[in-house]
Amino acid sequence: MIRAFVVDDEPLAVKRLARLLTETGRVEVEGTSTDPVDALAALSGHPPDVLFLDIQMPGMNGFEMLAMLDPQPLVVFTTAYDQYALQAFEVNSIDYLLKPVEERHLSRALDKLERLRAATEPAPDWKNLLAQISSALGQGGTSAFPERIASRLGERIHILELARVTHFFAQDKLTFAATEGRNYVVDHTVAELEQKLDPRRFCRIHRSTLLNLAWVREVDAWFGGRLLVRLKDAKGTELQVARDRVGGLKRQLGI
């Protein structure tokens, strides 16, 4: 049996898809959710074989939710987008179902999932895939990079808007997202965040610091060829830029 989890902000769509999956006799629906934040909590550390995931949801879209899942299950997107704009979904172990979901299309997706589960294939390149999807959908499409990040504390998940994060820093074997109000623990290393987040908005300025460029107020020369960055937050936070990172920061700031 394929273990499945369904996420869609429309309760009727969730109920219908769960019923269709159960009626195939091939799937056990382990859970459903109409809220992507609640779904993240339910799926944390307990990934199903496949996640049936809506794309357009309030507060957090399907791509952003997927980016926060670790480990990531195989995914079947459910969407109202025209199929000709979704050619990118046909790569990297991904399938899609157009709404309203038809039984024959669901059967096709399940056949593909069973083949993928039996095969020994590498994990999908999610960052590359989302870039392809964004390109396929055109300028009105969803960004390939997340706009939010999750901070977990026990069973509670706090969703942070990345625009509020002044910088990320590593300390005492943990990684923190710094905001004007407080710091939040996140489940990624600084190196992982550098790869995950939009390089036009975030710059690695030290092995333990990733800077949100939108929060830079001023830059001063510092000892040993380094720089000192002052932020726009109320505290006027100062961050040191490692000498080998100076050139990259200057290029991104256009100085």
**Which residue type does 144 have?**
A
Residues 20 and 46: beta-carbon distance below 8 Å: no
Q: Which pLDDT value is given to residue 202? A: 95
Residues 89 and 95: beta-carbon distance below 8 Å: yes
Residues 236 and 216: beta-carbon distance below 8 Å: no
- Is 143 contained in some domain? no
Number of domains composing the chain? 2
Q: What is the dihedral sign for C-alpha 29, 35, 36, 42?
A: negative
Task: Give dist(CA 177, CA 152) in Å, integer.
Answer: 12
* 50-54 vs 74-79, strand pairing mode: parallel
In a shared domain, residues 240 and 205: yes
Average pLDDT score, the chain: 84
Q: What is the dihedral sign for C-alpha 95, 98, 100, 102?
A: negative
**Has this prediction a pTM greater than 0.85?**
no
- Is 159 contained in some domain? yes
The model's pLDDT over 199-208, given as tens digits with 9 standing for 90+, comes to 889 999 999 9
- Is 142 contained in some domain? no
Domain carrying residue 11: 2-137
Q: What is the dihedral sign for C-alpha 144, 147, 152, 156?
A: negative
The model's pLDDT over 148-172, given as tens digits with 9 standing for 90+, comes to 888 887 777 888 999 999 999 999 9
Q: Which pLDDT value is given to residue 139? A: 45
Query: Which carries the bigger pLDDT value, residue 84 or residue 163?
Result: 163
The model's pLDDT over 3-37, given as tens digits with 9 standing for 90+, comes to 999 999 989 899 999 999 999 999 999 999 999 98
Domain end call among 111, 137, 163: 137
* 227-231 vs 167-171, strand pairing mode: unpaired
- Is 54 contained in some domain? yes
Task: Give dist(CA 213, CA 117) in Å, integer.
Answer: 42
Q: Which pLDDT value is given to residue 68? A: 83
- Categorize the per-residue pLDDT at 120 as very low, low, confident or very high, splitting at 50, 70 and 90: low
Domain end call among 86, 107, 137: 137
The model's pLDDT over 181-237, given as tens digits with 9 standing for 90+, comes to 899 999 889 998 998 888 889 999 999 999 999 999 999 988 888 899 999 999 999
Domain end call among 74, 108, 137: 137
